[in-house]
Structures are given as C-alpha cells and as structure tokens.
Amino acid sequence: MGFGLAVIIGNTIGAGILRTPGEVAAYLPNAGWFLLAWVIGGLYALLGALSIAELGTMMPQSGGQYVYAKRALGDYAGFVVGWSDWISTCGTTALISMVIGEYASAFWPLLAGRATWIAAAVMIAFAALQWRGINWGSHIQNLTSLLKAVAFIVLVVACFALGNRQDAPSVAPASSQPFFFSLILALQSVIYTYDGWTGVIYFSEEVQQPSRDIPRALFGGVISIIAIYLLVNLAFLYVLPIGKMAAEPFVAGAAAQAIFGTRGEKIIQILVIISMLSSVNANTLMASRVLFGMSRDALFSEKATTVNQGGTPTTALLVSTIIALFFVLSGTFNQVIAVLAFFFVANYTISFLSVFILRRRQPAAPRPYRTIGYPITTGLAFFGSIAFLIGAIASDTRNSLYALFLLAISYPAFLVIQQIGKKSRPQ
C-alpha cells in the first residue's frame, strides 16, 4: 500500500498546484468559491476512486484503464484507451523532465542553455534505475514522493509562520464571464491538477494484496492529495490576497517572494525540481506497464512482454523511454499532450461506463471490493466526466478535432497492429 500511495502522490502532485491557483482565482475571484472549487475537484476524484477500486480489484492486471476498457467493450476500445494512454504518458514524462531541465538550468548558471540535455539525462537515469528491478522502482518512488510531500509541507508551514496575514478583502474584481462558465472553467483547471490519482492501477498485479491494498491506496492517495491541495491554497491565500493571486501566472513564486524576498525564486526552483522527480519516475513506471499489458494481448510485439529477473518489463521500458526522448529532442511533447487531452477525459468516462457494463454482463464475477453507493456514485462520476469532456472539447476545439481525426483513423491502425502482434507470436 505504501508504494500505491507513493505512486499516486508522486504522479499527481506536480507543477500544476504551483501554477493553477492563479488560473482558478482569475475565474473565481472570491476566497470561498475559490476553495470550494478545489473541494469539488477532490470529491470528483474521490467518486472516481470508488468505482476504479472495484475494477482494480476485479481485474488485478497491470496496464491501467486499458485492461478495463478491453474487458468491458472489446479489443478495439482497449486499443484506443491503451495507445492514447501510453503515448500521452510518454509525452508527460518528456514534459516533466523538460520542466526539471528548465528549472535546473535557471538555478545553476553553468547549466544555462542545456535544459534539453538535462531532461534527457533525467529520463535515462530513472529508466536505468528501474531496469534493475521493481524493488528499485518502488524504493525510488517512495523516496521521491516523501521528499515531495515534505517539500510542500515546508512551503505551507513557511507561508503561515513567515507570511504576513493579508487584510485585503476576500473578494477581487468580478470576472468578465458569467459565473456558471467561470465555475466550469475553474473546475476544468482543478480537475486537470488532480489527474494522476489512478496511478496504482497500472501496477495491479505487482501489488502483493490487490484486493486490500488497491482500494486503500486509491482512497488514501486521493484524501492525501485533497488535504495537501487545500493546505497549499490556504497558505497562498494567507500570504497573497485573492486579487493578487488572480493576476499571478505562477502563484507559488509570488508567495515565495513575499515570504523570502529575493531568495524566493531560488527556493521555488528547488521545490519544483524536487517535486518533479517523483513524477518522472511514476510516469516512466506507468508507461512501461501499459505497453506491457497491450503487448500481452497482441496489440504490440511479443518482445515487449519480456520481464527480467528483477521483474521489470525491460523491452517495454526501453521503447517507452525512447519515445519520451524523441518527444524531448523534437520539442513535440506539448502538442502530443494537448491533442491527447481529449482521450485523457474520454478514458475516465469509459472506465466508469465499464463498471455499469460489467455489473450487467458479469454479475457473478468476483469483486473483492464493490463500489460504495453504486449506482449513484458511479453515475455521478460518469456524468461528471461527460460534462468535463464536453467542456474540454469546447475550450480546445482545434486539438479536440485533431483527436477525433486520430480516433477516425484508429480502427484501420488497430487491425494492422493486431495482425503484427499476432504474427510476432509463435504459432
């Protein structure tokens, strides 16, 4: 369960919580509504965890949401979920590594202009450590996630201990948009910041007692993230009035400068670097498991099912790292993630739908954990995901159209890849 908590916290908490509060404050320039948005986002993640825990214990197989989509909706749905998840996870690994490179080059002048090579070195280093076995990957995740949690706790304590309490009003100038639309846009930003809470399901068959530890890790991870996010935002509100937060593209930097003065920038750079390390390790672990799971089902080469003595899917890890390196060196990670954001939302929707389908088609299947409050809780998560998907399409129509184009051509690609996967296996 400790690893499950570590991978959820490490995969979820990143640079988003340092930047997103400014966006949310701009949409909801009222301290009460601002905090309520973070609570609602956390409750959505918790509702989702209730349903994903059932799927995770019912199908304790590594590969993430791909496993559930394939069983409930067939090979093609599994293909779409799996490949979009794998590519976007590789892109996320590249993006996070690039953030580390940029902040490291800003912190150490000797590294200036070398952000790309720092990012590549970070990815290769984590892949090399994971190559030694799952124990190495687990220990690194535990350590880096602990460092991340400690770093954020130190930031919160510093804000309350060293910051000057703001006497400014808790309401800033009203947003120019209608309140309902402002709330939806704010919740979109918040929910994106909560993304990553499903981390443990990518390793379901590597968890020693999945029927017990997957639900505990999911619930404990989500509750921990909600607590950390609320504490961080309360700390920011203590240091900065809501109006100043709304005008800041990087709230954490402004808060650190208010507390530490000119040293604040360096402190935040260190915080970002520390907090990103666990995210790189988590995404590297997750990408290799998705590719491993698909390869086992003939949706990629059989060679990607190779596992070394340490338990690491080495070929899947190598291919995933190469793709992430390509995204960094070509500078295409932002475009990849922007286009595949459509699938990120759609995959959650498919997972929640899978709970309903499997309850109907396979009512007698073993379910060590059953969703609390089903069907209401699963229904709320499902319709919330649909609403979020509509909002994502409306707010980024161009990239959503690219994603729909990829979906349109995915079926012939599925047939080709399926045939290649089958041919790579001995008859």
Q: Taking a C-beta distance cutoff of 8 angstroms, is the pair 313, 202 a contact? A: no
Burial label, 166 (beta-carbon count in 10 A; 0-12, 13-18, 19+): middle
Cβ neighbours, 10 Å, residue 408: 9
Using CA atoms in the order 211, 9, 300, 409, what is the torsion angle rounded to 10 degrees? 110
* Residues lower than pLDDT 50 in the chain: none
pTM value? Answer: 0.88
Q: Is the peptide bond before 215 cis (omega within 30 degrees of 0)?
A: no
For residue 171, the model assigns a pLDDT of 54
For residue 45, the model assigns a pLDDT of 93
Q: Which long-range contacts (CB under 8 A, 24 or more apart) does 380-386 make?
A: 380/47, 381/44, 381/47, 381/48, 381/50, 381/51, 381/348, 381/352, 382/349, 382/352, 382/353, 382/356, 384/44, 384/47, 385/48, 385/345, 385/348, 385/349, 385/352, 386/349
Backbone angles phi, psi at 171, to 5 degrees: -125, 130
For residue 117, the model assigns a pLDDT of 93
Cβ neighbours, 10 Å, residue 171: 15
Superfamily name with CATH number, domain 2-423: Amino acid/polyamine transporter I (1.20.1740.10)
Pick from 344, 268, 270, 28: nearest CA to 170 = 28
For residue 411, the model assigns a pLDDT of 87
What is the rounded CA–CA span in Å between residue 193 and residue 25? 14
Give the contacts of 423 (CB within 8 A, at least 6 positions apart): none
